[in-house]
Amino acid sequence: MQAWITAEECEKRFPGWLAARGENGWKVDAAKSRISSRFGFAEVRVQLKPDGTPDFDRVVSGEAPNINAVAYYVKDGIFYVGVTFQVRPFADTSYGIPADPPIKFAQPVMGFRDKIVGATASAVFESAPEGAKREVLEEAGVQDIISIKSMGQHWGNPTGPLVTPSDLLEIEIDPKTIDTSKFDREELIFKCEYIPAGELVLRIALGEYDGVNYRASVAMNTFFVFFANHPEALAQATN
């Protein structure tokens, strides 16, 4: 099955689709050269020279507030890191060429902070730690969380196109309560595994393992920040 089509092609195939999008649809502000939706925005920005005159412009995009979180536990001194496996149909094999079949990526727990993601999400806009707790429960099969700590933020691509930051968190869980049969299939998440730190780094080095791509840069940077905050886990990964 084709992974993606343009909005123009979708409207041709399904007349009225754009009008039916409602609050999920893109809203165009021609005066600001911006389009936006509840998921994020895209707009033209102009970089200035030191004297304040225009230098160059490009289209940039941003996401609604979101979190990337590493769920983990330690057993017998070994760090086990939660990795979810999710299809990303918008990912191309090369510039503008859809992947067929769509690429399945390895990633940490990821999701929007507000009510967009998850059947059990609250209608109230969540703080980053609360959002991370909900996402872990839905994506990583976790029933009991020991602690949630902030790891700050990171930026997907600060030069553009992805210019907004994501909140990063680490979540220590109780491994005795994991049920990896409970994950969000509506998000195209196939499974979650808890992998020893060394094995995770090996798979990242390989790039692809067992049909799963480990080179989604934002996802891998989340793991990197976690390892930077836990040198003991990084030592296990490099030994």
Identity of the residue numbered 200: L
Count CB-CB contacts under 10 A for residue 173.
Answer: 23
The answer to whether the CB of 183 falls within 8 A of the CB of 141 is yes
DSSP 30: G
pLDDT value for 120: 37
From first to last of its 239 residues, the chain has per-residue pLDDT tens of 567 877 778 888 888 877 777 666 777 776 777 888 888 899 888 888 888 888 888 888 999 888 898 999 999 999 999 999 989 988 999 888 888 899 999 999 888 775 333 433 333 335 677 777 766 666 677 777 888 888 999 999 988 889 999 999 898 988 887 775 655 545 555 578 899 999 999 999 999 999 999 999 999 999 999 999 999 998 987 77
pLDDT of 24 reads: 67
pLDDT computed for residue 189 by the predictor: 59
Give the N- to C-terminal CA distance of the chain in Å, as an integer.
Answer: 42
* Four-point Cα dihedral 182, 187, 190, 191, nearest 10: -40
Helices (H), 140-216: 197-206
